[in-house]
Chain A
Amino acid sequence: MLYREAGQFKTSYRADQQIFPILQDRIGMLVLGFVALVGVPLVASEYWLTAILIPLLVFSLAAIGLNILTGYAGQLSLGTAAFMAVGAVATYNFQLRVPGIPILVSFLLGGGTAAAVGAVFGLPSLRIKGFYLAVATLAAQFFIPWLLVKVSWFSNDSASGVITTQPVEILGFTFDTPLRKYLFALVVVSVLALVAKNLVRSHIGRAWMAVRDMDVAAEVIGIRIVRTKLVAFAVSSFYCGIAGALYAFAYLGSVETDGFNLDLSFRILFMIIIGGVGSILGSFLGAAFITLLPILLDVALTEGATALGLQLPSGMTSMVQLVVFGALIIFFLIVEPLGLARLWQIAKEKLRLWPFPH
Chain B
Amino acid sequence: MTHDHNPGRRIGETLLAVENISLAFGGVRALTDISFDVREHEIRAIIGPNGAGKSSMLNCVNGVYRPQQGTIRFAGQTFRHMHPHKAALMGIARTFQNIALFRGMSVLDNIMTGRNLKMRCGLFLQALYVGPNRREELAHREKVEHIIDFLQIESVRKTPVGRLPYGIQKRVELGRALAAEPRLLLLDEPMAGMNIEEKQDMCRFILDVNDEFGTTIVLIEHDMGVVMDISDRVVVLDYGRKIGDGSPDEVRANQDVIDAYLGVAH
> Hey, which bits of chain A sit against chain B, CB under 8 A?
13-14, 17, 195, 198-199, 201-207, 209-210, 212-214, 216-224, 231, 235, 278
B residues 203-219 near A (Cβ < 8 Å) are none
Chain A nearest CB: distance from B80 CB in Å?
18
With CB as the reference atom, state the residue of chain B lying closest to A196. Answer: B127
In the complex, which residues of chain A have a beta carbon less than 8 angstroms from the beta carbon of B62? 220
The answer to whether A203 and B126 have CB atoms under 8 Å apart is: yes
In the complex, which residues of chain B have a beta carbon less than 8 angstroms from the beta carbon of A202? 121, 126, 129, 133, 137
A206-B112 contact given A198-B126, A213-B105, CB 8 Å threshold:
yes
The answer to whether A231 and B94 have CB atoms under 8 Å apart is: no
Instruction: For the complex, give the distance between the alpha carbons of A202 and B120 in Å.
Output: 11
B residues 78-104 near A (Cβ < 8 Å) are 84-85, 87-89, 93-94, 96, 100-104
Instruction: For the complex, give the distance between the alpha carbons of A10 and B149 in Å.
Output: 17
In the complex, which residues of chain A have a beta carbon less than 8 angstroms from the beta carbon of B129? 198, 201-202
In the complex, which residues of chain B have a beta carbon less than 8 angstroms from the beta carbon of A235? 123
Q: 27 A–B contact pairs at CB < 8 A?
A: A17-B138, A195-B127, A199-B123, A199-B127, A202-B129, A202-B133, A202-B137, A203-B121, A203-B137, A206-B109, A206-B112, A206-B113, A212-B102, A214-B101, A216-B64, A216-B84, A216-B100, A217-B100, A217-B101, A219-B85, A220-B64, A220-B88, A221-B88, A221-B117, A221-B177, A222-B85, A278-B104
Check: B176 CB closer than 8 A to any chain A CB: yes
Q: How many A-B residue pairs have CB under 8 A?
A: 103
In the complex, which residues of chain A have a beta carbon less than 8 angstroms from the beta carbon of B198? none
Check: B224 CB closer than 8 A to any chain A CB: no
Q: Which of B88, B126, B142 contacts A13 (CB 8 A)?
A: B142
With CB as the reference atom, state the residue of chain B lying closest to A14. Answer: B138
> Hey, which bits of chain B sit against chain A, CB under 8 A?
62, 64, 84-85, 87-89, 93-94, 96, 100-105, 109, 112-114, 116-117, 119, 121, 123, 126-129, 133-134, 137-138, 141-142, 145, 176-177, 180
In the complex, which residues of chain A have a beta carbon less than 8 angstroms from the beta carbon of B100? 214, 216-217
Main secondary structure of the interface of B (DSSP, over half): helix
In the complex, which residues of chain B have a beta carbon less than 8 angstroms from the beta carbon of A14? 134, 138
Chain A nearest CB: distance from B166 CB in Å?
16
In the complex, which residues of chain B have a beta carbon less than 8 angstroms from the beta carbon of A199? 123, 126-127
Instruction: For the complex, give the distance between the alpha carbons of A206 and B104 in Å.
Output: 10
Closest 4 pairs (CB-CB, A-B): A222-B88, A198-B129, A202-B126, A213-B102
Instruction: For the complex, give the distance between the alpha carbons of A17 and B133 in Å.
Output: 12
The answer to whether A17 and B104 have CB atoms under 8 Å apart is: no
A231-B104 contact given A14-B138, A221-B116, CB 8 Å threshold:
no
Main secondary structure of the interface of A (DSSP, over half): helix
Chain B nearest CB: distance from A104 CB in Å?
16
The answer to whether B126 and A204 have CB atoms under 8 Å apart is: yes
Chain A nearest CB: distance from B106 CB in Å?
10
The answer to whether A17 and B85 have CB atoms under 8 Å apart is: no
Chain A nearest CB: distance from B11 CB in Å?
26
In the complex, which residues of chain B have a beta carbon less than 8 angstroms from the beta carbon of A204? 123, 126
The answer to whether B112 and A222 have CB atoms under 8 Å apart is: no
Chain A nearest CB: distance from B128 CB in Å?
7
The answer to whether B117 and A222 have CB atoms under 8 Å apart is: yes
With CB as the reference atom, state the residue of chain B lying closest to A12. Answer: B138
The answer to whether A203 and B85 have CB atoms under 8 Å apart is: no
Q: Which of A201, A209, A219 contacts B102 (CB 8 A)?
A: A209
Instruction: For the complex, give the distance between the alpha carbons of A207 and B126 in Å.
Output: 13
